[in-house]
Amino acid sequence: MTTLTLRAAPPERLDLAGLTPAALAGLSDGEAARLAVGTSRHALALGDCFAITLDGSDELRIVGATERLDRIGAGLAAGRIVVEGDVGQRLGAGMTGGTITVSGSAGPFAGTAARGGTIRIAGDAAESAGGAIHGAPAGLDGATLLIGGRAGDRLGDRMRAGLIVVREAGDHAASRMIAGTIVAEAVGDHPGYGMRRGTLVAARHGALLPTFVETGRQDLVVLRLLAKSIATHAPWAAALLRGPMRRYGGDLATLGKGELFTPVG
């Protein structure tokens, strides 16, 4: 396993985009140490901040990570990245495959534009997890994002495809959602703001928008398909999906093909 061990808290934000197992596999220790990771005029290199152990495997371990490490796993296509600690913004941005596991929490825009693979965050995620960065056409775009703790506001903002499973999320979850699925135990106020299509399942929710209309109690086949798919990732989410559900359609201020499911209770 290739290992990067952070020596000390970095003096600036570091950009680790492209540091994938495949990219590091063909490098010597010297070449890896010279990779630019700084984001200021100080031109920090990987070797300035990390102790590097390369073995050419398809697994990369980042030890002692902090929230100042941005874009970890960005562009990952295959293999595995294991992060011990917290991470900064845009975790796994644009990844197309492989898995990223974070033992701590993640900064904003985790999984943005990720088209494949799985991101698992044990702790919390900041705002716009699975959301689109400013001006981008889409947020999460086919990958699976699993958040063990709480996500901030605008979870899945402009998400286009894929799955997000989270324990709790802030306000405006699934805002401007294009398509995809989000399952949460609880979301804040105004879920689905501007939602065009897609599915949001929440055991509890805050205030609903007036542009979401109840369509009644429905036992839809698609929820069974989702439950079966999610069962391996999050048994609690699968159990939620298997219960009796009330459905709301919206956001009728836009296309209105989105939906919010919440347990009958």
Partner 1 sequence: MPDLILNGIRVEDTFAEAFDMAGTALVLTADTAEWAMIAAVTMTGFATSVIGCGAEAGIDTVLSPDDTPDGRPGVRVLLFGFDAGGLKDQLLRRVGQCVLTSPGSAVYAGIAWDDPNAAKAIKLGGAIRYFGDGFATAKRIDGRRYWRTPVMDGEFVCEHSVPTIQGAVGGGNLLFLGRRFPDTLRVAEIAVAAARTIPDAILPFPGGVVRSGSKVGARTKGMMASTNDAYCPTLKGRAGSLLPPEVDVVLEIVIDGLSAGAVSAAMRAALHASTAAGADLGLVAVTAGNYGGNLGRHHFHLRDLLGAAA
Q: For the purposes of burial, counting CB atoms within 10 Å of the CB of 4, is it exposed (0-12), middle (13-18) or buried (19 or more)?
A: buried
Count of positions on this chain that bind partner 1 (CB under 8 A)? 18
Residues 31-50 that bind partner 1 (CB under 8 A): none
Structure tokens at 86: 């917290």
The kind and range of the H/E element at 215 are strand 213-217
Residue 204 interacts with partner 1 (CB under 8 A)?
no
Q: Which is nearer to partner 1, 197 or 246 (CB)?
A: 197
Q: Which is nearer to partner 1, 42 or 224 (CB)?
A: 224
Cβ pair 187, 155 in contact under 8 A = yes
234 to 253: interface string for partner 1, x by CB under 8 A? --------------------
β-bridge partners, 100: 81, 119
Shortest distance (Å) from residue 220 CB to partner 1: 5
Residue 217 interacts with partner 1 (CB under 8 A)?
no
Of 36, 51, 225, 239, the residue at the interface with partner 1 (CB under 8 A) is: 225
Q: Which is nearer to partner 1, 128 or 199 (CB)?
A: 199
Non-local (6+) Cβ contacts of 167 within 8 A are: 147, 148, 149, 150, 184, 185, 186
150 to 189: interface string for partner 1, x by CB under 8 A? -----------x-----------------x-x--------
Non-local (6+) Cβ contacts of 165 within 8 A are: 144, 145, 146, 147, 182, 183, 184, 230, 233, 234, 237
Task: Say how many CA atoms lie within 13 Å of 164 toward its Cβ.
Answer: 43
Q: Which residues bind partner 1 (CB under 8 A)?
A: 142, 161, 179, 181, 197, 199, 218-222, 224-229, 257
